[in-house]
């Protein structure tokens, strides 16, 4: 009986969040380990399903690291990495495209449909969603088909959202000549959040958030100002894979997104907790 | 931490109900003691607020017993009762109308608005919602302005629902000559559920439900067939105030409403539990 | 035969007014003696019915003086008046609310429905129409639950107008804590006219209009400029109950309402004549 | 003052008609002397203007007899008549078309626009409104380009009505090969009334109505059943120009039009009186 | 087989034009000899039909010179011309109106309908499309009912376009007193193109275009700047009937029309070629 | 000059087809050699682009044979074939899915977007488009993840068509447990044509059509009745890969599709010629 009361209480406490976020767009970047563990994957998809039922408009942006590497392995292709990025020749790019848009994307779509919401997968080619160009490296290195977003054409996303679908986006971009590019998924998430004037950008990652001292997990920063974030990138406390995440947050904030979060995707239901409670998990990047 | 996980669990478990009931209409009859206790009143209004936020379309139908008696007392008017019903002369009817449509109705509207949903109060006169006629008693007794529903004109309800309002209905009907009638609120709830082809009719009352043996609370009937209900009315096991409730359920079922429930309004959040869990509280009347 | 020609003539002469006012909103304040005489009441409701049929959008705002006093009398409550206003304790406020929103409002709605138009009654609580605050008196006196309009939320009015209803408004406001206030009906009419950018505000009253010399009925002012009106309030020629009427006109004019009129509600069909002819009855307040 | 009251009374008395006919379609056939007298023409156009402002949807169908004859005279063309119908060669047909669609039609449109409503002229060619075929005479006579309606394509009328225009129709039809035909205007009016499922078909003519004894004006028949009308055509009491009018009424009635009237177009405002009062002028043909 | 490939090629080559002009409005002035030759008339109407099917919105504006003169001849009326314009008395104006709006307009409408598109004819009176005034001549001469456009009211055109009709416009204007005026068709075409913010104004005429030296057909100017055009009017190289055409182009360009063309209506399918290829026929007037 | 006239002629001759097919849905199955030759691929995509611009609604369904085999080869996987079908284990299925939905689908989308239309790729998982089940073989053989269509859910196709997109469909289906299946693309095309009540189903293949005698190319059957088709399957004249094509046509015809065609995809622009001329290429299967 008491359990029943608690149950009701939880629902009641979610009201202000449901109210505040009703009909609002949430861009959720999903990647890393949270994508490798089947149970975690299921838990994230359930969270997104619930957000949809509660009247929010989630958009899922995904990467696909390990599975790409595995597939490249199968065809006996070795990846060279330069400055932490995969040098992407034509054959590699085809594999990237196939794994992202053909495998992972459709798996996520299938899970969401299975939970009773309507999901539709798309990649940057569909409806010209992500117009890209070859990424220019400061040192002039040639990374092959690694690209940058030139322009976002969100019409197809609006069409799908208006009809109640959850768009699931594979981060492959298309160039003006029809060539395809692999684009960092965090960057794409930031761009989409900006183009859609999203309420929130939420990046699920493999750590708890950003640490004052990366070596000391007790130094998690719950609220990080842009200025300080830039400084921490400068002095190296934010480094490697965390850099594009923080930059995506900054980009989104500077283009009208209200709130951006980097949270721990390894913890079950961290997404729900971030959106529907005031527990303050992970790091929020703010202006 | 575990508490957080439970919290998420509760939300996740509500998904199938939210999904099934999305956009569906629920007629909720609210009366009796649940209306006298300020805390319970608040709890019921919170439940309705949450249902609205979860995408359901609740309609609230209310009575007003004790406050009417109190007001009649203030003006020194005594109520005569005949067959359990108040003999209602012109002056009494004016008081009924004022208390229901002017006081209680607006208090409920105010509470719902306060919780952040949009509510609008109406009574049977508004938009000709409840066209009524003088109730004919089998024995030919004259109960004065006690009426029966002749016709429901749901257009105004559809207008309000389409714009996201929770309609709150005071059960005063209007005759073809413009005269007003007091109508049993359970009956009105059943009529509205039928007219709107509601998903559910839920009647909040002061007991746990219907008992096989009214004297033995362990004999609560969780599922009651119409045939048996009629038999129990016949043999008196269902009597007095419970009769119109059961009849409202039967009427609604026979006119296309999917499910009807009589539940215990004294228990906090019983409404939420009925709608969002499969705990099976109270009595469900079924075809 | 000649009578028939005259009949046609009258209809023909109304054309320019029907054309000019088609689809325009008219806020009509109805109160005083015009509300006590059943025949006059019927005549005013017929006028409003006709305006609706001719394609105008009337909104009816009503007060309820004498019936409130009568009801207070019945429960043995005496009204104290301060500066011409009723000191309103909690119990008095409940009576005001019940008489206005529960009795008079519904009677007017019923009459309009009876004449074949669709009317819906509401008071300031419904849809948060009239957000109010305790009225601050210059001398610091406490009038109890006498309020002022803080904010008008016209959404529900737009919803009803769009679906062809005549909104009938009882002038009870609601405070941020859910408490209710009695607000002067002239003031509310002016606020609603401004919020809806009405074509006209028409206040029906118990005199012919505003007199140059109140003692001399031959000095009726047919057109009164705001500046002069303010002067006349200053020097006392406009006093007591006429002050809020004139102030409502000034408020409406200053907030975009095209025309404001104070006309004699005791004369049958004065409303029709004001709107559909150029006879120039009553006093028009102009910028 | 009394006059003012009468004026209001006339408006009030029109309410039930305005209410009953709101948004309903009225096909009005206008021709004969009512079209030759400029004052009468103005009066008919004013009536139609008022009906439009009152919320009805009038459609004007016109003939053009005398002006056609006049124009034919100017070019030195003589009309041969057979069984009361003009034998129409190619040159005559061109003149008919020009006078009807180019002159009279546009004059009526101009007058209506001048009175402040929106009117648009069209003839049977526009939007393929009137698909016609050569009229087959029982005796096999060749009347040239005299046609019959084969099919009505009302889409353009619906388009214009939906945007608030009064369609003014010249009764020229178009054959499957693009050839044009002169069609009796009464017949067209009956066909359009049927195609639009009009509320009323009203034919303005040069007599008071249909007489029991055409020689005795005291024998006007106010309500004529189809059966009797057919009998009177048989025995010749209804003859010549009155026959197509009565047949148009019968056709309309048999295809779903509620009411059909033949009234005296020579009497000013007879149209208004027919629609907005219960004076019962002219003859009504009923099933 | 090769022919089949060529056939496909032609369709493929039209793609960029179809794409660029989809849903765009084209005002096409049609007159002169192209209107007298039945085969050419058919060819122009086929071109317009195709443009409609390809998704463009053509509007046809027509004059009617020779047929007017012929009809005037029939009624024994001689036209006096002053400065190249017909002095138009009342009787002449009636003939102009009848021939334009009653004959030519309906013939064009009939042909278009026959080819399977929906066309509707209108003249300046319909829906108050062309509000005109008496043309003021610099020398003060009185040309009678020769008018100038005062105001274009394009609502009826928008209504027809929105429902898929091709509007066919006879260039008769209506004055504020309801009097009618004959207006130069080139001028009307320019005014309509401006009022509708057309993509193109295309004037079909009886020469190939504008010549540097009118005596030397090898001096056709394919692109003519406004400044030069004005200069050529000044020095007489552009004269008589070509002046209003060039002025219409200049007017349209200065009021937001993107492109204006004067092309050879005597050449079959010149309209198609202008719109769907880059052959550059005729003269384009540009800013 | 003559060429110009021919050019116009071709466009004019397409009118009846454009008219007849405006807004109609065409399901086009694209596969085989037409997909391997880059020039042919470009030509087919241009044809589809033109059809879209002409107002038709093409839907592209594609297979992917050779590229799948190539990819399987790269990962060293050998395909076993049983009764002409690939035995599809989990790893093979992943490759099928990736090549179809991730590579070919996106290439086609990119080409269409490049030609200026809006295209969006989807596979059977998206929006639950193709609900599938394991294919039951008559002999009980286990083909692994080879599936059959259980149910088509066309909502997402309607959403995309309504917004002007060309849907490009990869023929992967999803089972009730979320498992994926490879489905014959001809079969899917027939199912989609039926579900959308398409105007036409057109299957591009590697032969000219169906032959009376497969060994004699002069025996092409231009019109084949269902009965005869079934007979020819029976007696082996229609065999192997042609069987599912003919069965798809029969299925579509029996479920309300008007016309079905099997045409030669190796011939450039065969699609255009089939749709826009009456040359009668390939074989039409009819009821």
Q: What is the dihedral sign for C-alpha B7, B10, B16, B19?
A: negative
Closest residue of chain B to A20, computed from CA coordinates: B116
* pTM of the predicted model as reported, rounded to 2 decimal places: 0.85
**Which residue in C has a C-alpha nearest to residue B158's C-alpha?**
C163
- The tens digit of pLDDT for each residue in C171-184 reads 999 999 999 999 99
- Which residues does chain C have within 8 Å of residue B109's beta carbon, measured at their own beta carbons? 125-126
Average pLDDT value for residue range C80-103: 91
Task: Name every chain C residue with its beta carbon within 8 A of the beta carbon of B155.
Answer: 118, 163
Mark yes or no for CB contact C53/D279 under 8 Å: no
pLDDT at D19: 84
Does C1 have pLDDT greater than 60?
no
Q: Contacts of residue D12 in chain C, CB cutoff 8 Å? A: 46-47, 50, 269, 272
C135 pLDDT band, cuts 50/70/90, is: very high
Tell me the pLDDT tens digit for each residue of F221-254: 999 999 999 999 999 999 888 999 999 999 999 9
CATH class of B24-286: alpha beta
- Which pLDDT value is given to residue C280? 67
Q: Which subunits count as partners of chain E given 3+ CB pairs below 8 Å?
A: D, F
Closest CA to B130 of B157, B106, B160, B153: B153
CA distance B69 to B52: 32
Partners of D71 in the beta sheet?
none
Contact B132, B148 (CB under 8 A): yes
- Rounded to a whole number of angstroms, the distance from the CA of A278 to the nearest CA of chain F is 33
Residue F100 has pLDDT above 90, yes or no: yes
pLDDT score, position C123: 96
DSSP C231-273: HHHHTTSS-TTHHHHHHHHHHHHHTT-SEEEEEETTSTTHHHH
Residue D219 confidence (pLDDT): 93
C78 interfaces chain D, CB cutoff of 8 Å: no
Cβ-Cβ contacts under 8 Å between B and C: the total is 115
Domain boundaries, given as residue ranges, for chain A? 24-286
Model confidence at B276, pLDDT cuts 50, 70, 90, reads confident
| HSE toward the beta carbon, residue F62, CA cutoff 13 A | 35
Closest by Cα among C71, C121, C111 to C92 = C71
What's the gap in Å between the CA of D33 and the closest CA on chain C? 19
Chains A and F touch (3+ CB pairs under 8 A): yes
Q: What is the pLDDT of residue C8?
A: 77
Based on DSSP, count helices (H) and strands (E) in chain C, helices before strands.
10, 16
Q: Which residue has the tokens 């447990």?
A: F177
Neighbours of chain B (3+ CB pairs under 8 A): A, C
B126-140, D7-21, E102-116: least confident range: D7-21
More confident residue, C188 or D8: C188
pLDDT the model gives residue A214? 81
pLDDT tens digits along D156-214: 999 999 999 999 999 999 999 999 999 999 999 999 999 999 999 999 998 899 999 98
| Contact between E101 and E172 (Cβ < 8 Å) | yes
The pLDDT > 90 percentage for chain B reads: 71
Handedness of CA C11, C13, C15, C20 (dihedral sign): negative
Q: How far apart are CA A174 and CA A121, in angstroms?
A: 16
Q: Is the pLDDT of residue D114 over 70?
A: yes
Give the per-residue SS3 of chain F: CHHHHHHHHHHHHHHHHHHHHCCCEEEEEECHHHHCCHHHHHHHHHHHHHHHHCCCEEEEEECCHHHHHHHHHHCCCCCCEECCEECECHHHHHHHHHHHHHHHHHHHHHHHHHCCCEEEEEECCHHHCEEEEECCCCCCCCCECEEEEEEECCHHHHHHHHCCEEEEEECEEECCCCCEEECCHHHHHHHHHHHCCCCEEEEEECCCCCECCCCCHHHECCEEEHHHHHHHHHCCCCCCCHHHHHHHHHHHHHCCCCEEEEEECCCCCHHHHHHHCCCCCCEEEEC
At residue B280, the pLDDT reads 67
Q: Which residues of D149-158 are buried (b: 16+ CB within 10 A; e: fewer)?
A: beebbbebbe
Contact F120 A94 (CB under 8 A): no
Torsion-angle region of F268 (φ positive above 0: left; ψ -120 to 50: alpha; else: beta): beta
Between F15, F18, F269, which is nearest E8 by CB?
F269
When pLDDT is cut at 50, 70 and 90, the band that residue B139 belongs to is confident
Q: Is the pLDDT of residue B1 over 60?
A: no
Q: At what angle do helices A105-114 and A38-53 cross, to 10 degrees?
A: 60
The pLDDT, as a whole number, for residue A4 is 65
Taking chain A (287 residues) in consecutive chunks of 10 residues, what is each chunk's mean pLDDT? 72 84 95 85 93 94 89 89 86 95 96 95 97 92 94 98 97 95 97 97 94 89 96 92 95 96 91 82 92
The whole-number average pLDDT for the span D30-39 is 86
Mean model confidence pLDDT for chain B: 92
- Radius of gyration for chain C, computed over Cα atoms and rounded to the nearest angstrom: 19
CB contact under 8 A, F113 and A128: yes
Contact B110 C102 (CB under 8 A): no
Both tokens assigned to E253: 């360009």
- Closest residue in A to F158 (Cα–Cα): A163
Contacts of residue B160 in chain C, CB cutoff 8 Å? Answer: 159
pLDDT tens, position by position, D77-105: 987 888 778 899 999 999 999 999 999 99
Residue with more model confidence, D129 or E214 = D129
Span B250-265, average pLDDT: 96
Q: Is residue C114 very low, low, confident or very high in pLDDT (cuts 50, 70, 90)?
A: very high
Percent of the residues in chain F that have a pLDDT greater than 90, as a whole number: 71
pLDDT (0 to 100) of residue A7: 74
Predicted confidence band of residue B12 (pLDDT cuts 50, 70, 90): confident
| pLDDT single digits (tens) C202-233 | 999 988 999 998 889 889 999 999 999 999 99
Q: Is F53's CB within 8 Å of E19's CB?
A: yes
pLDDT in tens, F264-276: 999 888 898 889 8
Strands (E), chain C: 25-30, 57-62, 81-82, 85-86, 118-123, 130-134, 147-152, 165-170, 172-174, 180-182, 200-205, 210-211, 220-221, 223-225, 259-264, 283-286
Question: Does residue E8 contact residue F268 with C-beta atoms inside 8 Å?
Answer: yes
Chain D residue numbers touching C50 (CB-CB < 8 A)? 11-12, 14-15, 18
Give the pLDDT band of residue F263 (cuts 50, 70, 90). very high
Closest alpha carbon to F184 in F35, F29, F66, F70 = F29
Span B163-209, pLDDT tens digits = 999 999 999 999 999 999 999 999 999 999 999 999 999 999 988 99
User: Which of F10, F16, F116 is the closest to E19 by Cβ?
Assistant: F116
**3-class DSSP assignment, residue C280:** coil
Contact B185, B63 (CB under 8 A): yes
Instruction: Determine the Cα–Cα distance for residues C24 and C197; give it in Å rounded to an integer.
Output: 9
Among B10, B16, B55, beta carbon nearest to A10 = B10
CA distance F123 to B172: 56
| Minimal CA separation from A104 to chain F, in Å | 9
CB F130 within 8 A of CB F187: no
Residues 166-225 of D with CB under 8 A from E: 172, 174, 178, 180
| Partner B contacted by A14 (CB < 8 A) | yes
Confidence class of residue E26 from pLDDT cuts 50, 70 and 90? Answer: very high
What pLDDT sits at residue F64? 87
pLDDT at E3 over 80: no
Closest B-chain CA to A7: B10
Residue F102 has pLDDT above 70, yes or no: yes
Smallest Cβ–Cβ distance between C127 and the set B76, B111, B165 belongs to: B165
């Amino acid at each position: 009986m008491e359990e029943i009361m608690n149950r009701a209480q939880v629902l009641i406490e979610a009201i202000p969040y449901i109210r505040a976020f009703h009909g609002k767009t949430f861009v959720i970047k999903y990647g890393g380990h949270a994508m490798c563990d089947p149970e975690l994957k299921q838990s994230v998809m359930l969270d997104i399903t619930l957000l949809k039922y509660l009247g929010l408009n989630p958009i899922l942006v995904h990467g696909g690291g390990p599975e790409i590497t595995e597939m490249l392995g199968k065809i006996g292709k070795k990846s060279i990495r330069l400055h932490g990025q995969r040098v992407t020749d034509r054959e590699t790019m085809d594999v990237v495209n196939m794994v992202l848009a053909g495998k992972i994307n459709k798996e996520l779509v299938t899970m969401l449909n299975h939970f009773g919401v309507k999901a539709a997968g798309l990649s940057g080619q569909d409806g010209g969603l992500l117009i890209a160009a070859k990424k220019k490296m400061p040192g002039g290195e040639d990374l092959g088909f690694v690209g940058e977003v030139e322009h976002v054409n969100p019409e197809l996303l609006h069409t799908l959202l208006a009809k109640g679908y959850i768009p699931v986006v594979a981060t492959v971009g298309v160039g003006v000549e029809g060539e395809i590019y692999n684009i960092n998924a965090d960057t794409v998430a930031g761009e989409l959040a900006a183009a859609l004037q999203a309420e929130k950008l939420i990046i699920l990652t493999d750590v708890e958030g950003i640490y004052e001292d990366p070596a000391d997990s007790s130094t998690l920063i719950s609220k990080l100002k842009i200025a300080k974030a830039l400084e921490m990138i400068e002095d190296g406390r934010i480094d490697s894979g965390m850099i594009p995440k923080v930059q995506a947050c900054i980009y989104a904030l500077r283009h009208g997104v209200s709130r951006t979060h980097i949270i721990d995707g390894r913890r079950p239901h961290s997404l729900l907790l971030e959106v529907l409670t005031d527990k303050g998990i992970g790091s929020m990047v703010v202006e």
